[in-house]
Amino acid sequence: MTSWIDSANAPGTPFPVHNLPYGVCSSAVEVKPWCAVALGDTVANLGVLEGWGLINAEADHPVFTGSSLNAFMAAGPAAWRRVRAQLTDLFTGDDPRLRDDTRRHNGSLLTRAAMRTHMPFEVAEYTDFYAGRHHACNVGSMVRGPENALPPNWLHIPIGYNGRASTVVVSGTPVVRPLGQTRPPGAEAPVFGPSRRLDFELELGAVVGVPNRLGRPLTVAEADAMIFGYVLLNDWSARDLQAWEYQPLGPFQAKAFATSISPWVVPAAALEPVRVSTPPREVPLLPYLREPGPMLYDIQLEVDLQPAGGDRATTICRTNYREIYYSAAQQLAHHAVCGCAMRTGDLLGSGTISGPEWHQRGSLLELAWGGTQPLTLETGETRSFLEDGDIVTLTGWAHGDGGRIGFGPCTGQIAPAPAEPAW
Structural contact between residues 233 and 350, judged by C-beta atoms closer than 8 angstroms: yes
Pairing verdict, β 175-176 and 410-415? parallel
- Bridge partners of 393, per DSSP, are 304, 411
Angstrom distance (rounded) from CA 129 to CA 119: 22
Q: What string of H, E and C letters represents the secondary structure of the chain?
A: CCCCCHHHHCCCCCCCCCCCCEEEEECCCCCCCEEEEEECCEEEEHHHHHHCCCCCCCCCCCCCCCCCCHHHHHCCHHHHHHHHHHHHHHHHCCCHHHHCCHHHHHHHEEEHHHCEECCCCCCCCEEEECCCHHHHHHHHHHHHCHHHCCCCCCCCCCCEEECCHHHEEECCCCEECCEEEECCCCCCCCEEEECCCEECCEEEEEEECCCCCCCCCCCHHHHHHHEEEEEEEECCEEHHHHHHHCCCCCCCHHHHCCEEECCCEEEHHHHHHHEECCCCCCCCCCHHHCCCCCCEECCEEEEEEECCCCCCCEEEEEEEHHHCCCCHHHHHHHHHHCCCCCCCCCEEECCCCCCCCHHHCCCHHHHCCCCCCCEECCCCCEECCCCCCCEEEEEEEEEECCEEEECCCEEEEEECCCCCCCC
Pairing verdict, β 237-238 and 198-199? antiparallel
Active site residues: 135
Closest CA to 139 of 367, 330, 305: 367
**Other residues' Cβ atoms within 10 Å of the Cβ of residue 148:** 11
